[in-house]
Structure 1
């Protein structure tokens, strides 16, 4: 199972699966996956949400 880390600015909010992060943020699974894309990172500042895959 792949785990992801959800950050807001430099603060770690949660580590878990895509489903766990989606439940934590109260958004759809697809939204969490979008947060991990380069497109989302270009559209937001460094103070926004970031999702990073944890190996």
Structure 2
């Protein structure tokens, strides 16, 4: 149970970042392909933002 909570926290942090910083709280697109593309780009941006911390560790 503790391990799943640790994984959940990491996943929820990414989704929280996407909603607040990445602008994914509401989408401006209607087609699923465009929403998916925007989500992928937002997650790439999230990974780039995390990269300095990951390299420092």
TM-score past 0.5 threshold: no
Q: Normalization by structure 1: what TM-score?
A: 0.26
Q: Normalization by structure 2: what TM-score?
A: 0.25
Q: Which has the higher strand share?
A: 1
- Greater RCO (Cα-Cα under 8 Å, separation 6 or more): 1
Q: Select the structure of larger CA radius of gyration.
A: 2
